[in-house]
């Protein structure tokens, strides 16, 4: 479990993380989302003690990261796949990490096997592709067999096979009761992997919701395709129903049940070629959330626009 308590980080005049309080629970995959510069990486860096918080603290299973004598056995983190010496082999890199936590060489070979790098373990990492570097980063996170895993953009650079593999791995790790905290900018990837979402915008917590809840909350809409678009639009306007015109013949109607739309069309003798309910995607819900956050902050300093 990762408990983030009123965490703040200021870089000069910029507040990268702003009074963030959220708990990442074990036994599920928690996705960490947010636009670029939202403070995801800074938060993750503070969790493993690389950056010093300006305020607040992070507790991992009750202790601060630096309080652990062998932190690799507690938290496996992949923050930057390039955080290694390019002249050192993958095996030696992992071995040097392993000894800090009293982990044997057997385990080094085990994780190399697990991520599929056994054949290239003796090669210097300078020769590694982005995907291989990513696999090595995942291997180092798994090295201490930790109850808490934290991965920043783990699918970055992986091929489709690799993405499929890591999805299964993360789910398996969570199913074993571990805390799995993963950031990604790929919404579709999150939708497949995460059970829970923590969404950050401008350093602040925007949402801490179950994936199912997030999907349900994303506003459903009704798509109506009709050759009489103008006439139907007038009807909707008269009824005070909000809608958008997507294409010349397609209206997207929000916050109204499909039945009512059908009845309205029938009552006003509007020909419908298509009428269907669409479910909001995770991406839509996410964009709606973060768009507001970004816009809010962008207008405040200049106070030019009135919301």
Partner 1 sequence: MTTSATSTTSSTPAPAIPVRGAHAGQPTPLRILGRATRSELIKLGTVRSTGWVLLLAAVSIIGIGVVNAIGILVQLRQRPDSQPPTLDPAAAALSGVGAALVAVAALGILSVTADYSSGMIKTTIAAVPRRAYLVLAHTGALLSYVLPVAVGSTLLTFLANKIIVSFAGVTISITDPGVARAVVGGGLYLAVLAVFTAGLGWLLRSTAGALVTWLALWIVPTLVIMLFPSSIVERVGPWLPANVGTAIYQFGVSGTAAWSSLAVFAGYGLVLMGLATVLLRRRDA
Q: Give residues in contact with partner 1 (CB under 8 A).
A: 45, 48-52, 65-66, 68-73, 77, 79-80, 82-89, 92-93, 95-97, 99-102, 114-120, 129, 131-132, 140, 142, 145, 159, 161-162, 164-166, 168-169, 171-173, 176
Q: How far is the CB of 110 from partner 1 (least distance, A)?
A: 8
**Strand 29-33 relative to strand 179-183, pairing:** parallel
φ, ψ (nearest 5 deg) of residue 292: -60, -45
Q: How far is the CB of 165 from partner 1 (least distance, A)?
A: 5
Question: How many other CB atoms are found less than 10 A from the CB of residue 255?
Answer: 11
Task: Give the span between the Cα atoms of 233 and 238, in whole angstroms.
Answer: 9
Kindly tell me which of 31 and 144 has the beta carbon lying closer to partner 1.
144
Question: How many other CB atoms are found less than 10 A from the CB of residue 231?
Answer: 15
Kindly tell me which of 135 and 204 has the beta carbon lying closer to partner 1.
135
Kindly tell me which of 88 and 225 has the beta carbon lying closer to partner 1.
88
Kindly tell me which of 83 and 277 has the beta carbon lying closer to partner 1.
83
Q: How far is the CB of 304 from partner 1 (least distance, A)?
A: 34
Kindly tell me which of 140 and 226 has the beta carbon lying closer to partner 1.
140
Q: Which of 46, 64, 122 is nearest to 91 (CA)?
A: 122
Q: How far is the CB of 197 from partner 1 (least distance, A)?
A: 22
Task: Give the span between the Cα atoms of 33 and 21, in whole angstroms.
Answer: 15
SS3 state at 266: helix
SS3 state at 271: coil
Q: Which of 194, 193, 198, 153 is nearest to 34 (CA)?
A: 198
Are 108 and 143 spatial neighbours (Cβ–Cβ below 8 Å)?
yes
SS3 state at 114: helix
Nearest 10 degrees: Cα torsion 11, 17, 23, 29: -90
Q: How far is the CB of 48 from partner 1 (least distance, A)?
A: 5
Are 34 and 42 spatial neighbours (Cβ–Cβ below 8 Å)?
no
Q: Which of 50, 22, 52 is nearest to 34 (CA)?
A: 22
Q: How far is the CB of 161 from partner 1 (least distance, A)?
A: 3
Q: How far is the CB of 214 from partner 1 (least distance, A)?
A: 25
Structure tokens given for 148: 């808490």
Q: Which of 100, 183, 180 is nearest to 143 (CA)?
A: 100
């Amino acid at each position: 479990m990762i408990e983030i308590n009123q965490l703040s980080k200021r870089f000069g005049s910029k507040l990268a993380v702003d009074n963030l309080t959220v708990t990442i629970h074990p036994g599920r995959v928690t996705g960490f989302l947010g636009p670029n510069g939202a403070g995801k990486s800074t938060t993750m860096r503070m969790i493993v003690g690389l950056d010093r918080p300006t305020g607040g603290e992070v507790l991992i299973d009750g202790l601060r990261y630096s309080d652990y004598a062998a932190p690799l056995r507690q938290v496996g983190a992949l923050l930057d796949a390039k955080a290694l010496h390019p002249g050192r082999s993958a095996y030696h890199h992992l071995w040097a990490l392993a000894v800090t936590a009293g982990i044997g060489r057997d385990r080094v070979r085990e994780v190399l096997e697990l991520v599929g790098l056994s054949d290239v373990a003796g090669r210097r990492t300078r020769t590694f592709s982005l995907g291989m570097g990513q696999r090595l980063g995942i291997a180092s996170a798994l090295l201490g067999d930790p109850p808490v895993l934290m991965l920043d953009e783990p699918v970055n650079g992986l091929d489709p096979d690799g993405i499929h593999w890591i999805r299964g791995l993360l789910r398996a790790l969570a199913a074993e009761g571990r805390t799995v905290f993963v950031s990604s900018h790929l919404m579709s990837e999150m939708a497949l992997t995460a059970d829970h979402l923590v969404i950050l915008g401008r350093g602040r917590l925007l949402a801490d919701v179950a994936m199912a809840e997030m999907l349900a909350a994303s506003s459903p809409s009704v798509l109506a395709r009709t050759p009489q678009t103008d006439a139907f639009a007038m009807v909707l306007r008269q009824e005070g129903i909000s809608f958008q015109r997507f294409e010349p013949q397609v209206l997207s109607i929000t916050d109204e049940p499909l039945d009512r739309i059908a009845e309205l069309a029938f009552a006003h003798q509007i020909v419908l070629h298509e009428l269907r309910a669409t479910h909001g995607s995770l991406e839509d819900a996410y964009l709606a959330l973060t768009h507001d956050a970004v816009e809010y902050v962008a207008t405040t300093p200049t106070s030019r626009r009135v919301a």
